[in-house]
Amino acid sequence: MKFHTKYLTFNTKRHREYINITSELEEASAESGVKEGLCLVSAMHITASVYVNDAEPGLIGDIDEWLEKLAPEGIDYRHHRTGETNGDAHLKNLLIHHQVIVPITNGSLDFGPWQQVYYAEFDGQRKKRIVIKIMGE
């Protein structure tokens, strides 16, 4: 069995930001030498997500607006009594999940036609990490 573990660090300029990490995953997959297996991509922070969807700027705007509608900023969350201000970012993380698994088949990430992997930052402007864990043969 082969294992390959890699961490990516982000420090976004904006408070919320959506970053296409598909090519970084393809690089990690190539480094692993795995021909058949699974590639886990998981946010290590609880105010960010990893999701699979389209690399279309309009859609990314829709996703951001929709997340803000269902889990809005600026509400008097109980969590803010600790001094934090990011209650909404925790809920956004739960709403679209913090991890995905991409199968590896014949040495490549086995994506459908439009699948791209995104890191979604909901409380940025500081260093945050994701872990990529590849396991296979």
Q: Which residues bind its own copies (CB under 8 A)?
A: 1, 3, 5, 36-38, 40, 42-46, 51-54, 56-59, 61-63, 66, 70-71, 77-82, 87, 90-91, 93-101, 103, 105, 110-115, 129, 131, 133, 135-137
Q: Give least dist CB 96 to its own copies, A.
A: 5
Give the nearest distance from C-beta 54 to its own copies in angstroms.
5
- CA–CA distance, 42 with 51 (Å, rounded to integer): 9
| Strands ordered across the beta sheet of 48-53 | 17-20, 116-121, 48-53
Task: Tell me the Cα Rg of the chain.
Answer: 16
27/66 with CB nearer its own copies: 66
Phi, psi of 15 (to 5 degrees): -60, -45
In the three-class reduction of DSSP (H, G, I as helix; E, B as strand; rest coil), residue 45 is classed as coil
Q: How far apart are CB 100 and its own copies at their closest, in Å?
A: 7
